[in-house]
Every structure is written in C-alpha cells, then in structure tokens.
Amino acid sequence: MNQVTQAVILAAGLGTRLKHLTQHTPKALMPVAGEAAIGRVIRNLVAAGIQDIAINLHHYGQQIEQALGYGSKFNANLHYSYEDSLLNSGGGVRTALDVLPDAERVLVHNADIMMDIDFQILDNICPHHGCALALVANPQHNPLGDFSLDNENLVSLHQPSHTFSGVSVWDKQVFMAYPSHQNFTLIEPIHKLIAKKQCLGTVHHGYWFDIGRPRDLIRAHRFYKHEGL
C-alpha cells in the first residue's frame, strides 16, 4: 500500500467571485472562523502524514508566503511555485512538482476547499499511472454535476451525478507527460484517464465547502465556529 507524503495546494487564482474581498488579499488567506483557509488545509494535510507541500502562487502570492513561512509552525516543509502568468489547475500542479522531492504520488488540494475527507481512501484506490477523485453531491452552483461512478468506482462522464470536490490523488507520471510551465486544466488528464479506465473516485459524505463564493465563505465560517473547529 502506498502512502502519499506530499501535496500541491492550488492557491494562484484571482478569487474574482469573492469580488471586493480579494481586491487586496488572496483568496487562500480568507479567514474561516479565525484561521486562514489555506492554514486549515495545511493542518489537515499534516495530520494525515503529508509534510512536503508545494503551493502555487500568483495573485498577491507574497502575502501567502509571508503569512505561512516555510512550514515550521505547521510541522511541514512548504515550497513555493510562483507563476508569472496563470497556468491553470493542471499546469499549476505540473510546474509545482518541480519544487517537490521525488515521490510516486501527490495529493492535489484546492486552497478554497474545506472538507473532512480521509485522504488515505483516495490514496488506496489511486491506480498506477492514474488518479483518484473525491466527489460530492452536486451543490447549488453546479446542479448538472461533473462525473458519475460506474462499477468498481470507475469515474464516468455519462449522466453526471456528482461534482468534483477539488481534492484528488495522482500518480506523478501522469503530469510528467506535460512540460513544465504549460497552461492546461486538470480536466484534460482526467478525461484521458477516464478513457483508459484509470480514473477512480469515491463519494464524500461529510462536510464540504467551496469558499470561492461569498455565500459559501459565510456558511463555512458559521459551520467551523459552531463546531469549534
């Protein structure tokens, strides 16, 4: 059984859906019950045994680096991958891998996703030269969904019934087929792996918040405050 030990946090986005809130502050530093969203993500990763973490940066990236440092307060090793121009989700991961040590697998986590997923479940089902996606029930902002699951947890594009959560585990070799600093989305390799039956998924039934929208940022804040998390 493999144990994923490193991650990429995608934090380079402009955060335009949060409007005035991100005019001078990156989305990753939005406070959720008194703690920056990305800080919560890092703590969850470290609690799962993941210590080498690369963070891609663009919009007010220096603010994130200054706020987090190099990981000592999280008991982690933080590495930064600056993007002069946005490389999108896939390109962001591929380029960030250049600053991480060699390893077979990598966990990819959006900085604006708050959830209580067990990362080991994804690691356990990730195929060789493939990926594993955490899926959630379709939220209000994505009622048509992204994917469905066929037999044996195979991810399918047929009659989408679930939404990609923004958390996944990958065999690094999938990304090595792309050059560094190339712009592409994660959807591109996901679709290729679906065609090869090398993309598996699991449905997460715990809490999940995409704080990229003001309404959901407020919901996450209230939930974490109420739960004392």
As a whole number of angstroms, the distance between CA 133 and CA 168 comes to: 5
What pLDDT is recorded for position 21? 63
What pLDDT is recorded for position 1? 45
Q: Are 155 and 133 in contact (CB under 8 A)?
A: yes
Q: How many CA atoms lie within 13 A of 209 on its CB side?
A: 20
Which domains does the chain possess? 6-227 (3.90.550.10)
As a whole number of angstroms, the distance between CA 100 and CA 206 comes to: 30
As a whole number of angstroms, the distance between CA 145 and CA 68 comes to: 34
What pLDDT is recorded for position 171? 98
pLDDT one digit per residue (tens) for the chain, 229 residues: 458 999 999 999 876 667 666 667 899 999 999 999 999 999 999 999 999 999 999 978 999 999 999 999 999 999 999 999 999 999 999 999 999 999 999 999 999 999 999 999 999 999 999 999 999 999 999 999 999 999 889 999 999 999 999 999 999 999 999 999 999 999 999 999 999 999 999 999 999 999 988 999 999 999 999 999 9
Q: Are 66 and 40 in contact (CB under 8 A)?
A: no
As a whole number of angstroms, the distance between CA 111 and CA 13 comes to: 9
- The reported pTM is 0.95
